[in-house]
Chain A
Amino acid sequence: MMNSSGGPAIRVEELVVRRGGATVLPGLDLVVERGSVTGLLGPSGCGKTTLLRSVVGVQRTAAGRVTVLGHPAGAAALRDRVGYVTQAPSVYGDLTVGENLDYFAAVLGAPPGDPARVTSLVGLDAHRRTPAARLSGGQRARVSLAAALLGHPELLVLDEPTVGLDPVLRQELWQLFRELAGAGTTLLVSSHVMDEATRCDRLVLMREGRLLAHDTPAALLAATGAPDVENAFLTLVRTEPEAAR
Chain B
Amino acid sequence: MNAATRRTLATAARVLAQLRHDPRTVAMLLFVPCLLLVLLRYMYDAQPATFDRIGPELLGVFPLLVMFLVTSVAMLRERTGGTLERLLTMPLGKLDLLLGYALAFGAVALLQAALASALTLGVLGLDVAGPTWALFAVAVADGLLGMALGLLVSAFAATEFQAVQFLPAVLLPQLLLCGLFVPREDMATALRLLSDVLPLSYAVDAMGRITAEGGVSGRVLADLAVVAGSALLALALGAATLRRRTD
Query: Which positions in A face B, CB cutoff 8 Å?
Result: 19-20, 56-61, 74, 76, 79-80, 82, 84, 86, 88-95, 99, 103-104, 106-109, 131, 147
Contact A80 B83 (CB under 8 A): no
Segment at the A interface, from B14-22, B62-70, B110-118: B14-22
**B101 CB to nearest A CB, Å:** 13
Contact B89 A79 (CB under 8 A): yes
What are the residues of chain B within 8 A of A107 when measuring CB–CB? 7, 10-11, 87, 90-92
B81 at the interface (CB under 8 A from A): yes
Contact B245 A60 (CB under 8 A): yes
Query: A93–B83 Cα gap in the complex (Å)?
Result: 10
**A47 CB to nearest B CB, Å:** 14
Contact B17 A99 (CB under 8 A): yes
B127 at the interface (CB under 8 A from A): no
B186 at the interface (CB under 8 A from A): no
Query: A165–B81 Cα gap in the complex (Å)?
Result: 21
Query: A71–B55 Cα gap in the complex (Å)?
Result: 58
Q: A84-B89, A92-B83 are in contact. Are A106 and B247 (CB under 8 A)?
A: no
Contact B245 A91 (CB under 8 A): no
Q: A58-B85, A60-B246, A109-B6 are in contact. Are A131 and B90 (CB under 8 A)?
A: no
B3 at the interface (CB under 8 A from A): yes
Query: A242–B13 Cα gap in the complex (Å)?
Result: 58
Partner of A59, one of B11, B13, B14, B245: B245
Partner of B90, one of A20, A89, A95, A108: A108
Contact A19 B247 (CB under 8 A): yes
Contact B14 A103 (CB under 8 A): yes
Partner of B244, one of A58, A94, A99, A106: A58
Residue interface bits B75-86, CB-to-A below 8 A is 1, else 0: 000000111011
Q: A79-B91, A107-B91, A109-B3 are in contact. Are A90 and B21 (CB under 8 A)?
A: no
Interface-centre pick from A56, A76, A90, A147 (highest chain B CB count, 10 A): A90
What are the residues of chain B within 8 A of A94 when measuring CB–CB? 18, 21-22
B121 at the interface (CB under 8 A from A): no
Those of B150-175 within 8 Å (CB) of chain A: none
Q: Interface size of B by Cβ–Cβ distance < 8 Å?
A: 26
Give the dominant DSSP class at B's interface. helix
**B244 CB to nearest A CB, Å:** 6
Query: A79–B85 Cα gap in the complex (Å)?
Result: 12
Which residue of chain A lies nearest to B81 when distances are taken between CB atoms in the complex? A90
Q: A82-B89, A86-B82, A106-B10 are in contact. Are A95 and B18 (CB under 8 A)?
A: yes
Contact A93 B81 (CB under 8 A): yes
Contact A95 B14 (CB under 8 A): yes
Q: A92-B81, A99-B14 are in contact. Are A20 and B247 (CB under 8 A)?
A: yes
Q: Provide 26 A-B residue pairs closer than 8 Å at the C-beta atoms, listed in order of the A residue.
A: A19-B247, A57-B89, A57-B245, A58-B244, A58-B245, A74-B89, A74-B244, A88-B82, A90-B81, A90-B82, A90-B83, A90-B86, A92-B18, A92-B83, A94-B21, A95-B14, A95-B17, A95-B18, A99-B17, A103-B14, A103-B17, A106-B7, A107-B10, A107-B11, A107-B87, A109-B3
Contact A104 B90 (CB under 8 A): yes
What are the residues of chain B within 8 A of A93 when measuring CB–CB? 81
Those of B207-247 within 8 Å (CB) of chain A: 244-247
What are the residues of chain A within 8 A of B10 when measuring CB–CB? 103, 106-107
B124 at the interface (CB under 8 A from A): no
Which 9 residue pairs spanning A and B have beta carbons closest together?
A90-B82, A106-B10, A79-B91, A103-B14, A90-B86, A60-B245, A94-B21, A107-B92, A90-B83
**A29 CB to nearest B CB, Å:** 21
Query: A61–B14 Cα gap in the complex (Å)?
Result: 32
Contact B21 A58 (CB under 8 A): no
Q: A79-B89, A107-B92, A109-B91 are in contact. Are A131 and B82 (CB under 8 A)?
A: no
What are the residues of chain B within 8 A of A92 when measuring CB–CB? 14, 18, 81, 83
What are the residues of chain B within 8 A of A99 when measuring CB–CB? 14, 17
